Chains A and B, each alone.
Chain A
Amino acid sequence: MSEPLRVALLSPCFFPEVRRGTERIVRDLADGLIERGHRPRLITSHPGRASRTVEDGLPVIRHRRLFDERLSRRWYQQYLTHVPFSYASLARGDDELAHAFFVTDAAAAVRWSARSGRPSVFSYMGLPDRPVLADRRHKLRLLEYVTGGVTQIVVLSQTAADGMWRWLGVRPRVIYPGVDLGDFTPEPAERAPEPTIFCAAAPDDARKRVALLAAAFALVRRERPDARLVVIRPNDPATVRRYGLDQDGIEFLDPVDEPVKLAPAYRRAWVSALPSYREAFGVVLIESLACGTPVVGARSGAIPEVLSSERVGIQFDGEDEREVARCLLDGFELSQDRATAGACRERAADFSTARTTEAHLDLYRELLGR
């Protein structure tokens, strides 16, 4: 085996403080690197005291993040105050490469890269689009600094790459995020006897358009009175009524710490639904496909990129609940096709964590000339 790579991963938040998509991707990447004998470490921050720990084999440096809420209320770019400390950790370390997952951390990586002459990578984890590129103080300035100085930019999908070019004039590399296909497996015997829709999106986020799904579900029930819709329980109880989630046939699943705990829900469902717009990727799509469950999703953001074939999912345009309802009913039919589960699993295999790790390793080796 070649010499292990020493990679500093930088993310402003990490488990257990936040368990969103980015934190999962960082954890999966770190695990993949460790499994392959490399030496990643994570430089992150949290509201508590600074600490150094080793978590499942990953050295984690947590810096203290001060005044975060206060600055956020004044519309500053989020996650700013830990950046000097993260830079100091980078400067003191012996990393060969710094890989940041948020623009403020990327600024530290760019500065480190300029001083040390070593490469830096910035993974932009969203969909670059005009509404979000200058919506906070100093955000555009930071983005320009980072995109102008970082060695390589990575995005989650071709849609995000197109956005990066259109709005920032940068041609990034696409590395799709992955799902552990061992955790998400098909079990046809577990499928619910009644037509069941599962939506793993967080309902409190308006961008996920769970209200549209609820309105469509009411129409589905006219055709299939036995249909069920399973959604994640909103953090704000008022969301239930506001989004029309208080109707018959809707069930709630408590939010989970580990995505793998959602696997049974995917398996029970006939179809998964992701009505969101502006998705940079949509890991939940892959989780569903890996469980052999087809998806009904909006033709928006990167969803069409993932649902590349009608054998694995159905897409809808616009915000018409009748159109969404029709697609959900078609989705029920698609799920009854014996070939569907296999096609879904086959598509999911294109997005395994192993492939994602290898794609990152290829990039690191290319940048390091190894």
Chain B
Amino acid sequence: MGRQGSQLEVSVVVPSHERVTRLRWLLNALEEQTLPRDRWELVVVHDSTDGTEELVETHPLAAAGVLRRSRLEPGTGSASRQRNEGWRAAAAPLIAFADDDVRPEPTWLERLLEAAKANPGAIVQGATKPDPYEAEIMKWAPRARSIEEPDPPGPHAQACNILYPRAALEAVGGFDESIRTAGEDLDLAARVRARGAGYVGAPDALAYHAVDTFSLPGLVRFNKRWETLPLVFKRHPELREQLEYGVFWKRRHAFLPAAVAGVALHRREPLLALLAVPYVLHALPHRGTHPAGRVRAAAELCGRAVVDASEMWTMVKGSVRHRTLML
């Protein structure tokens, strides 16, 4: 049972899917929050089969009456659906969303709440940085991925570390559950802001995001999730300011077609190879000035081009599907 009768100020909502260890680390971090426990609650919504249910049953936060859980049919959830289930079950007037692969600092919730009180009715985004315990992986792995938003509010309004007034969520109906894979957080923020809500940052509300590494085929498969992004930009044309030249998701994407053309045609006309220069300048990783480092950077550049091409292909498919243009 929740603590509806008490003076809860903020509910933390965490969607989770098959990430029991990371979720455990998040719960451990929440256990160390400086905000007194009678002022907040935690709602975990998951559709996992990996021991998550046992974790949320037995974690000390559950015994302390802080943690409530909701379990969906295994494999039926999405981040949007789980977050919606979570905030609708929550009891506080403020809803802080955290993902199951972040690790907030002990003062995270306290700082987020302070910013929310200083800006009534506003969306409050906390700062997110790659987990320093995994920083070396981020530095050295060619296909490492994390979330970095050190100076909020950022353009993407990632839901891994953000707070919404409950009233704002109710007004727009929460996350759009038809956006299952990516961009649902940006879409929600755009809809809430369109109703006049403010959007502020709380740089001291710091959470660390896990670093994931991928094989090249693995990252190409992972990139398929971005197919819903063109839909978000179609719905919210004002967001196109974030895109390069109003169309390209990333600056590298703008340079990639010319680079591919230059490489393909340089045998006919060697000068055409210069078409690849802008892309190389933007995409070449920095691996030091040692010859081995340069060879490595060149090898990684090829992999990066493959990843960029896969992202662009996903954007093309999304653009066709949603009848808009984003590359």
Q: Do A and B bind each other?
A: yes
Q: Measuring CB to CB, which residues of chain A are less than 8 angstroms from any residue of chain B?
A: 73-75, 130-132, 134-138, 140, 143-144, 166-169
A135 touches B134 (CB 8 A): yes
Q: Which residues of A contact B238 (CB under 8 A)?
A: none
Across the A-B interface, the 6 shortest Cβ-Cβ residue pairs? A75-B140, A131-B133, A75-B136, A137-B213, A75-B137, A74-B140
Interface string of B135-164 (1 = CB under 8 A from A): 011011100000000000000000000000
Q: Which residues of A contact B211 (CB under 8 A)?
A: 134
B55 touches A134 (CB 8 A): no
Q: Which residues of B contact A73 (CB under 8 A)?
A: 140
Minimum C-beta distance from B150 to chain A (A): 21
Minimum C-beta distance from A135 to chain B (A): 6
Contact of B134 among A134, A143, A167, A169 (CB under 8 A): A134
Contact of A74 among B25, B54, B141 (CB under 8 A): B141
Cβ of B24 < 8 Å from any Cβ of A?
yes
B residues contacting the other copy or chain, number (CB 8 A): 20
**Given known A-B contacts A130-B133, A135-B133, A169 and B24 have beta carbons under 8 A apart:** yes
Q: Which residues of B contact A137 (CB under 8 A)?
A: 137, 141, 213
Cβ of B257 < 8 Å from any Cβ of A?
no
Q: How far is the CA of A167 from the CA of B103 in the complex (A)?
A: 13
Q: Which residues of B contact A144 (CB under 8 A)?
A: 21
Q: Which residues of A contact B51 (CB under 8 A)?
A: 169
* Chain B contact residues: helix, strand, loop or mixed: helix
A169 touches B141 (CB 8 A): no
Q: Measuring CB to CB, which residues of chain B are less than 8 angstroms from any residue of chain A?
A: 20-21, 24-25, 28, 51, 54-55, 103, 131, 133-134, 136-137, 139-141, 210-211, 213
Contact of B133 among A134, A138, A143, A168 (CB under 8 A): A134
Minimum C-beta distance from A142 to chain B (A): 12
A135 touches B137 (CB 8 A): yes
Minimum C-beta distance from B50 to chain A (A): 9
29 of the cross-chain contacts (CB-CB < 8 Å) are A73-B140, A75-B136, A75-B137, A75-B139, A75-B141, A130-B25, A130-B28, A130-B103, A132-B133, A134-B131, A134-B210, A134-B211, A135-B134, A135-B137, A136-B136, A136-B137, A137-B213, A138-B213, A143-B21, A166-B28, A167-B25, A167-B28, A168-B21, A168-B24, A169-B20, A169-B21, A169-B24, A169-B51, A169-B54
Contact of B21 among A75, A136, A140 (CB under 8 A): A140
Q: Which residues of A contact B139 (CB under 8 A)?
A: 75
* Chain A contact residues: helix, strand, loop or mixed: helix
Minimum C-beta distance from B289 to chain A (A): 16
Q: Which residues of A contact B213 (CB under 8 A)?
A: 137-138
Q: Which residues of B contact A140 (CB under 8 A)?
A: 21
**Given known A-B contacts A137-B213, A140-B21, A144-B21, A169 and B55 have beta carbons under 8 A apart:** yes
Minimum C-beta distance from B32 to chain A (A): 11
User: Across the two chains, which residue of chain A brings its CB closest to B138?
Assistant: A75
A135 touches B210 (CB 8 A): no
Q: Which residues of B contact A131 (CB under 8 A)?
A: 133
Minimum C-beta distance from B138 to chain A (A): 9
Seed contacts A134-B211, A169-B21, A169-B54; 9 additional CB < 8 Å A-B pairs: A74-B141, A75-B136, A75-B141, A135-B134, A137-B137, A138-B213, A168-B21, A169-B24, A169-B55
Q: How far is the CA of A51 from the CA of B25 in the complex (A)?
A: 42
Q: Which residues of A contact B136 (CB under 8 A)?
A: 75, 135-136
Q: Which residues of A contact B140 (CB under 8 A)?
A: 73-75
Q: How far is the CA of A169 from the CA of B139 in the complex (A)?
A: 29
Q: Which residues of A contact B54 (CB under 8 A)?
A: 169
Minimum C-beta distance from A140 to chain B (A): 7
Q: How far is the CA of A166 from the CA of B21 in the complex (A)?
A: 10
Q: Which residues of B contact A143 (CB under 8 A)?
A: 21
Q: How far is the CA of A135 from the CA of B140 in the complex (A)?
A: 12
Q: Which residues of A contact B21 (CB under 8 A)?
A: 140, 143-144, 167-169
Q: Which residues of A contact B137 (CB under 8 A)?
A: 75, 134-137
Q: Which residues of B contact A74 (CB under 8 A)?
A: 140-141
User: Across the two chains, which residue of chain B brings its CB closest to A168?
Assistant: B21
B24 touches A167 (CB 8 A): yes
Q: Looking at A73, A132, A136, which has the most chain B CB atoms within 10 Å of its CB?
A: A136
Q: Which residues of B contact A135 (CB under 8 A)?
A: 133-134, 136-137
Q: How far is the CA of A132 from the CA of B136 in the complex (A)?
A: 12
Q: How far is the CA of A136 from the CA of B211 in the complex (A)?
A: 10
Q: Which residues of A contact B55 (CB under 8 A)?
A: 169
Q: How far is the CA of A143 from the CA of B25 in the complex (A)?
A: 14
Q: How far is the CA of A144 from the CA of B24 in the complex (A)?
A: 13
Q: Looking at A75, A136, A167, which has the most chain B CB atoms within 10 Å of its CB?
A: A75
Q: Which residues of B contact A130 (CB under 8 A)?
A: 25, 28, 103, 133
User: Across the two chains, which residue of chain A brings its CB closest to B25?
Assistant: A130
Q: Which residues of B contact A168 (CB under 8 A)?
A: 21, 24
Q: How far is the CA of A73 from the CA of B55 in the complex (A)?
A: 35
Q: Which residues of B contact A134 (CB under 8 A)?
A: 131, 133-134, 137, 210-211
Q: Which residues of B contact A167 (CB under 8 A)?
A: 21, 24-25, 28
Minimum C-beta distance from B299 to chain A (A): 12
Q: How far is the CA of A167 from the CA of B59 in the complex (A)?
A: 11
Minimum C-beta distance from B144 to chain A (A): 8
Q: How far is the CA of A143 from the CA of B22 in the complex (A)?
A: 12
Q: Which residues of A contact B28 (CB under 8 A)?
A: 130, 166-167
Q: Which residues of A contact B20 (CB under 8 A)?
A: 169
Q: Which residues of B contact A138 (CB under 8 A)?
A: 213
Q: How far is the CA of A265 from the CA of B85 in the complex (A)?
A: 65
Minimum C-beta distance from A148 to chain B (A): 8
Minimum C-beta distance from A59 to chain B (A): 37
Q: Which residues of A contact B131 (CB under 8 A)?
A: 134
Q: How far is the CA of A8 from the CA of B135 in the complex (A)?
A: 36
Q: Which residues of B contact A166 (CB under 8 A)?
A: 28
Minimum C-beta distance from A162 to chain B (A): 12
Q: How far is the CA of A350 from the CA of B133 in the complex (A)?
A: 36
Q: How far is the CA of A167 from the CA of B25 in the complex (A)?
A: 7
User: Across the two chains, which residue of chain B brings its CB closest to A136?
Assistant: B137
Minimum C-beta distance from B28 to chain A (A): 6
Q: Looking at B21, B55, B133, B139, which has the most chain A CB atoms within 10 Å of its CB?
A: B21
Minimum C-beta distance from B264 to chain A (A): 31
User: Across the two chains, which residue of chain A brings its CB closest to B132?
Assistant: A131
Q: Which residues of A contact B210 (CB under 8 A)?
A: 134
Q: Looking at B140, B210, B211, which has the most chain A CB atoms within 10 Å of its CB?
A: B140
